Structure 1
Amino acid sequence: MMHKGRMEAFSDGVFAIIITIMVLELKVPHGGDDLKALIPVIPVFISYILSFIYVGIYWNNHHHMLQAAKSVNGRILWANLHLLFWLSLIPFVTAWMGENHFSQWPIALYGFIMVMNAFAYSLLSNSLIKHEGENSNLSKAIGIGSKGMISVALYLTAIALSMVNSWISFALYVLVAIIWFIPDSRIEKGLAEEK
């Protein structure tokens, strides 16, 4: 068994770098000093807002999940790196989607990256539950979450619809973000009951 502190610190650093990379993609317009000069960067800014919310949701849930865990092992470290890998691709797909005004292939790839993030997060949570035990507070707190399954179904639908109408796909990504925007309180309640 290993202490979870180093994994948490490393993960927090990666989350911070991901957000930094995304904000660096917001370029200052050089077409003037009036509000019209901002119009060309609106799609990039909108995609940044959506992705910032997603990264924030993952950071928030990652933090709560690790607060409930007592320790980690090698399998958990690799599962965490797997999640961080997929999260680290969010700046790339965010920039591509925004710069191409939410066209079909960038928005489809965005959905694929979101599916892989969801899968990686699920793998991490399952690894933590297996390590902590089926009767642990973490296992009881996480349980079987329907939000995760609904999210993946919406992502897959958005990917399929991206070839028909990319704006519907974008709306589905916004819907998933809204579903997750309110933090999952199951872990907080489980930790409060433990005290």
Structure 2
Amino acid sequence: MTEDQPEAMAGEHADEQAEAHPKEHIAPGRLQAFSDGVVAIAATLLILEVKAPASDEPVWAGLRHEWGALAAYAVSFVIIGLAWIHHHNLFHQVRRVDRTLLLLNLGMLATIAFLPLPTATLGNHLRGHDATAAAVFYSLSMAAASGWFTLFWQHLCRHPELLHPAARGQSAAARRQSLLGPVGYLAAALVAPASPLGSLGLSALLVLYFLAGRGAPAGRVRIRSGG
């Protein structure tokens, strides 16, 4: 018997109890709609910290002066976009949402909405004397945001009845894979004292890794329409 099989079997038994108390659960659609709005606002706010060249300033020189803010914006925007994609994929596998999952989702949204602050801080200080502190702050914020996916999967592994039956067998693997994000960003924080720019580069490499679809915190499981 594999690690995943006991959880899938437990989910089958828990389905009967969940069906007996339908009011205790919420449809995932409402949670996703609210989450989409918060993520969209957070992604939009990122660009506000990038200053446009002044009217008396050469355009390319002004943009070059903002390269740190632009780099932080680009990495952060893609990270938020990936979080949205992984969030969508995860809840595509969720059959019902309980109170704990709602609270975990609020925690994730709080850290996502917080990201414009560390992004602006890193953009403003990447070329300054306090670049190390800014890079550590940025990396730790990213680790906190990505860590919620591990908490999601931990809860779903303990309550497989919340998942579609087809997704239950892969929940333990998804939980393991979800650790890559927080561990990677913590590694970026450790790199920051030696090289703040290298720390941002490591975050960018993580982004490229997830864009390639490898080790995604919430890989999609194909759910049959009748499942």
Fold in common (TM above 0.5): yes
State the match for 1:62 in structure 2: 87
Give the Cα–Cα distance (whole angstroms) in 2 for the partners of residues 192 and 157 of structure 1: 38
21-30 or 83-92: bigger deviation? 21-30
Q: Deviations over 1:50-89 (max 9, x none)?
A: 0001001100010011111111011110000011111111
State the match for 1:130 in structure 2: 158
Aligned in 2, Cα 1:79/1:189: closer, same or farther, shift over 3 Å?
A: closer
Give the Cα–Cα distance (whole angstroms) in 2 for the partners of residues 90 and 182 of structure 1: 23
In the alignment, structure 1 residue 158 sits paired with structure 2 residue 158:
no
State the match for 1:191 in structure 2: 223
The answer to whether the 8 Å contact 1:158/1:170 transfers is yes
Structure 1 residues without counterparts, runs of 5 or longer? none
Q: How does 1:73-112 map to 2 (within 5 A)?
A: 73-101=98-126, 103-112=131-140
State the match for 1:34 in structure 2: 59
Q: Displacement, 1:186? A: 7.4
> What SS does the corresponding residue of 1:24 show, helix, strand or coil?
helix
92-101 or 147-156: bigger deviation? 147-156
Aligned in 2, Cα 1:41/1:160: closer, same or farther, shift over 3 Å?
A: same
Aligned in 2, Cα 1:170/1:187: closer, same or farther, shift over 3 Å?
A: closer
In the alignment, structure 1 residue 117 sits paired with structure 2 residue 141:
no
State the match for 2:37 in structure 1: 13
Give the Cα–Cα distance (whole angstroms) in 2 for the partners of residues 194 and 162 of structure 1: 49
> What SS does the corresponding residue of 1:137 show, helix, strand or coil?
helix
Structure 2 residues without counterparts, runs of 5 or longer? 1-24
The answer to whether the 8 Å contact 1:83/1:117 transfers is yes
The answer to whether the 8 Å contact 1:151/1:176 transfers is yes
Q: Displacement, 1:177? A: 0.8
Structure 2 residue identity aligned to 1:126: Q
Greater C-alpha Rg: 2
Superposition RMSD in Å:
2.4
Give the Cα–Cα distance (whole angstroms) in 2 for the partners of residues 189 and 118 of structure 1: 20
The answer to whether the 8 Å contact 1:79/1:124 transfers is yes
183-192 or 31-40: bigger deviation? 183-192
Q: Displacement, 1:187? A: 4.4
Q: Displacement, 1:39? A: 1.2
How much identity, in percent, do the aligned residues show?
Answer: 22
Give the Cα–Cα distance (whole angstroms) in 2 for the partners of residues 60 and 52 of structure 1: 12
Q: Deviations over 1:89-136 (max 9, x none)?
A: 111100110111261011101111122112212112332343433893
> What SS does the corresponding residue of 1:69 show, helix, strand or coil?
coil
Give the Cα–Cα distance (whole angstroms) in 1 for the partners of residues 218 and 59 of structure 2: 47
